[in-house]
Amino acid sequence: MSDTVTKVVDFENIEKRFEEARLSSEWKQLVKDFKKAKRIYVIGNGGLHFTAAHLATDCTRLIPGKVVYSLDSTGYITSNANDHGYENTFIRWLETAGVDDSSECMLVGMSCSGNSKNITRTMSWAKARGYSVGMLSGQPSKRLERGINEVAFNVNYFHTCEVLCLILFYQMVHECGAACPSIKAEIKRKDPWAIGDE
């Protein structure tokens, strides 16, 4: 048996950082734009790519009248990265999305560094075409075009940024007047006999 003490992962006082982000004018603007948009596209790399898919699924199913998309096709990603360059993958996705009225669309970018070239380029591309745009970043971007709303967390770790992005979108569900169901409520909804009369 070892006397080694297991170190607990550092989430950098995540509840405090969540509150700071939630109360920021940048977050309030992002919420306002999100509420107005009918079609929302969410982009991110690495872990944030899967965060985008997770939040797109839950926002679409929990917020009435909202359709939130993420790019989940590995074939599409690799094909377009090969044919058009990785920095243009998300731009190419939006070009082929069949958007007729971009004034009803929003693009949310997520980047731990704030400087992911394919994210910042796509943000500028979307802004130039009339999309509402907003960025969630672990550090303030040095690459993002001026005038693009950015909620910067000022965190040190990728995992903190990724978790903050996800929990902020659960906050978005509530700010849009919907709610995240409890596990027991979902069990009871699916099978009323599963948990008895509680």
- Give the model's pLDDT for residue 197: 53
Hey, what are 96's tokens?
Answer: 């082929």
**48, two tokens:** 């944030």
> Which tens digit of pLDDT belongs to each residue from 106-162?
999 999 999 999 999 999 999 999 999 999 999 999 999 999 999 999 999 999 999
Closest C-alpha to 122, from 57, 36, 41: 41
- Inform me whether the pLDDT recorded for 84 exceeds 90: yes
Q: How much is the pLDDT for 102?
A: 86
Fold observed for domain 14-190: Rossmann fold (3.40.50)
Reported as a single tens digit per residue, the pLDDT across 4-52 is 778 899 999 999 999 999 999 999 999 999 999 999 999 999 999 999 9
Dig out the tokens for 74 from the structure: 């590995």
CB 43 within 8 A of CB 29: no
Are 35 and 104 spatial neighbours (Cβ–Cβ below 8 Å)? no
Q: Looking at residue 4, what is its pLDDT?
A: 75
Angle between helices 14-23 and 25-36 (to 10 degrees): 70
* 9: Cβ contacts below 8 Å, ≥ 6 apart: 159
Q: Residue 1: which residues within 8 A CB-CB, separation 6 or more?
A: none
Q: What is the pLDDT of residues 51-66, one digit of tens each?
A: 999 999 999 999 999 9
CA atoms within 13 A on the CB side of 195: 10
Q: Which residues does 105 contact at the CB level (< 8 Å), separation at least 6?
A: 37, 38, 39, 40, 41, 99, 126, 130, 131, 132
Q: What is the pLDDT of residue 195?
A: 60
Which runs of consecutive H residues, i.e. helices, occur in the chain? 14-23, 25-36, 47-62, 74-84, 89-95, 117-128, 158-175, 183-190
For residues 64 and 150, give the distance between their C-alpha atoms in angstroms, rounded to a whole number. 26
Domain ranges of the chain: 14-190
- CA 59 centroid distance within chain: 10
- Cβ neighbors of 62 (< 8 A, separation 6 or more) are 173, 178, 179, 180
- Residue 76, both tokens: 């599409």
Q: Quick one: pLDDT at residue 134?
A: 98
